Structure 1
Amino acid sequence: MEDALSEYKFYCLARNYTEKTMKNKGQEYKQLKRYLVEKRGIQELESITYHDMRSYLYQKQKAGLQPQSIQSMAKQIIAFFNWCIKEEYLTENPMDKVTLPKIPKRLKEGFTKDEVYRMIRCWSDKTFLEARNKTLIAMMSDLGLRAMETRTLTIEDIKDTTILIHGKGNKDRVVFASYQLKRIMMKYERLRKQYLEVKGYDDPHYFLNYKGDPITHATVHNVVKEAATRAGVKDAHPHKFRHFYAVEVISNEKANIDLFSVSKLLGHSQVSTTQIYLQSLTNEQLKIKANNSSPLAKFK
């Protein structure tokens, strides 16, 4: 088992998995190995049965792990065992007969237009940091970017109205900035250039802190939290801008954009992921879409 886990680690590194993914995998496999060795007395890979894996998941549930977390954890383990089968170290996956807990369906709620408008407007464009924060909020809401995608942008990624996004799983995609967003960006870019010249800094990242270094993941969260506080918006976090973007694009009767295209713009590998965001479409939004797509409405 030890040898297989070590080999699988290098297999994942060769696949260019992100540092965050590798860290999550490493932690999960470390916990799994400890449980199998210490609690079940198992050292050999082929000795693992579905009984052992059922017991492992049951221990996780007893510890208070939520269904969503257990499913995420199980996917990591299933991937490892599937690789073992591919390499002919195992003939079947011990997780095949393990029933995973169901994830309760909760209606996802995104920001309203007014909330996003207020969060953008709460920042001025008079200083470098204020303009940076305004641009960050505007960019996430207008393009549906992840926090990671926002903070890793570079100056070279920004073209005229197209932006190269370095997405999840090292997958790049191109998104398109609206003229309204471009105006906000241009004001920030002027102040950014002036700030770097005065301070003598030179960093290719698009969003920088006051020291001229790339912003961190925590900075993105703090900017969103501060914007929400200023605008009087509750339960704000960066990922809700992706939800807002998906719903607004799909419900826009003038856009006439399909679900697959929205999925590509968001950088989702599966359309089903995009569909989760759209569960919060209001009846009024659905009514407008239904009227605009009515077959009889096209008849004279």
Structure 2
Amino acid sequence: MLLEDVIDEYLYHCRAKGYTNKTMINKRQELKQMKVFLKEKRGITELESATVHDLKAYVRGKQKSGLKPQSVTSMAKMVKAFFNWCVKEEYLIESPMTKVELPRVPKLVLNGFTTEEVTAMINSFTYEDYISTRNKAMIAMMVDTGIRSIELLGITMDHVGELKILVNGKGNKERIVFISPALKKILIKYERIRKEHFRNKVTSNHYFLSYKGAKLSHVGLWNMVRDAGRKIGIEGKRVSPHTFRHYFATESLKAGIDVYSLSRLLGHSEIGTTERYLRSLTYEALSDKANVTSPLMNMNK
């Protein structure tokens, strides 16, 4: 079978599974690069002709190009997913990626936000106008629910209930996140000011909108978060929407939530993904958790 034809079929399969546009762009680009490499460097155009040696050479080429181990591993996993699908569809007996070793990715601990920094960022915005109120509500929602940036931007008015929010997550999977009284107070004010600002003249049903009433862009959200960080003087840290998700996860763990429950709230398909946040806990936080759960400390309670 022509490799090009099988790749096209696989990409349609991924679209049918509900992968995001960003994921589809990455998959399409990576599989195109693999196809070009196999054809031009190894003389391969048929799916069945690709061997473990060819794929090892492809991964080595990525490494020699100067890409970081994390980037090489991410790209290789896309190729691996393609060949695993080929096995599942019985186009291949075995995946040639099975014995391809991926570079070791150093386990970095994200230097996350402190509670003081998060509080300062929320308080840096007021209720004096629509944009400021919207920004306060967006940061508060990320802090309080741990949702992804793409999930935040996809929320519609119909998704926000009295005590919960319906979120459309990765792979088009829906889940529920919960609204605390503190977040509800902010959202009530936001909805009132949103209504006053647009006077029911908006065409978009998205919950968070631009000044003119259009769906807020991913770039717009990132710029808002970075500006909030600069405004309060955060330096030497990654100031991004994901850092709020990291803050939510680590604070929830400190408070005693179990990893399984946290995994469901974050929308992770594998609990191993959630467990990575455990590496971010400081020794002081781990010490506090150990004291709270200590059998001897709890014997006489």
Cα deviation per residue 1:220-243 (whole Å; 9 max; x = unaligned)? 101101110111112311100011
Q: Superposed, which structure 2 residues align to 1:260-279 within 5 Å?
A: 260-279=260-279
3-state SS of paired residue (1:244): helix
Structure 2 alignment gaps of length 5 or more: none
Deviation at 1:258, TM superposition (A): 0.9
3-state SS of paired residue (2:176): strand
- For residues 203 and 196 of structure 2, what CA distance do their matches in structure 1 show? 11
- For residues 11 and 153 of structure 2, what CA distance do their matches in structure 1 show? 27
Does residue 197 of the first structure (1) align with residue 199 of the second (2)? yes
**For residue 194 of structure 2, what is the amino acid of its counterpart?**
R
Does residue 240 of the first structure (1) align with residue 259 of the second (2)? no
Cα deviation per residue 1:233-286 (whole Å; 9 max; x = unaligned)? 12311100011001111112xxx4211101111111111111212212122211
Other-structure match for 1:257: 257
- For residues 52 and 233 of structure 1, what CA distance do their matches in structure 2 show? 46
Say if 1:120 and 1:134, in contact at 8 Å, map to a contact too: yes
Cα deviation per residue 1:110-162 (whole Å; 9 max; x = unaligned)? 10000000000000111000000011111111111111111111111111121
Number of residues paired by the alignment?
296
Say if 1:108 and 1:277, in contact at 8 Å, map to a contact too: no
- For residues 41 and 282 of structure 1, what CA distance do their matches in structure 2 show? 52
Percent identity of the aligned residues? Answer: 49
Say if 1:196 and 1:202, in contact at 8 Å, map to a contact too: no
3-state SS of paired residue (1:39): helix
Say if 2:112 and 2:243, in contact at 8 Å, map to a contact too: yes
**For residue 104 of structure 1, what is the amino acid of its counterpart?**
P
Deviation at 1:166, TM superposition (A): 1.1
Deviation at 1:17, TM superposition (A): 2.0
Deviation at 1:78, TM superposition (A): 1.0
Q: Superposed, which structure 2 residues align to 1:49-64 within 5 Å?
A: 49-64=51-66
Does residue 281 of the first structure (1) align with residue 277 of the second (2)? no
Cα deviation per residue 1:68-122 (whole Å; 9 max; x = unaligned)? 1111111111111112122222121111121110001111221000000000000
Cα deviation per residue 1:153-212 (whole Å; 9 max; x = unaligned)? 1111111121111111111111111111111111111110011117x2232100000110
- For residues 177 and 224 of structure 1, what CA distance do their matches in structure 2 show? 21
**For residue 72 of structure 1, what is the amino acid of its counterpart?**
S
Other-structure match for 1:35: 37
Other-structure match for 2:112: 110
- For residues 274 and 130 of structure 2, what CA distance do their matches in structure 1 show? 34
Match of residue 130, structure 1, among 129, 132, 154: 132
Deviation at 1:299, TM superposition (A): 1.9
**For residue 68 of structure 2, what is the amino acid of its counterpart?**
Q
Match of residue 9, structure 2, among 3, 7, 17: 7
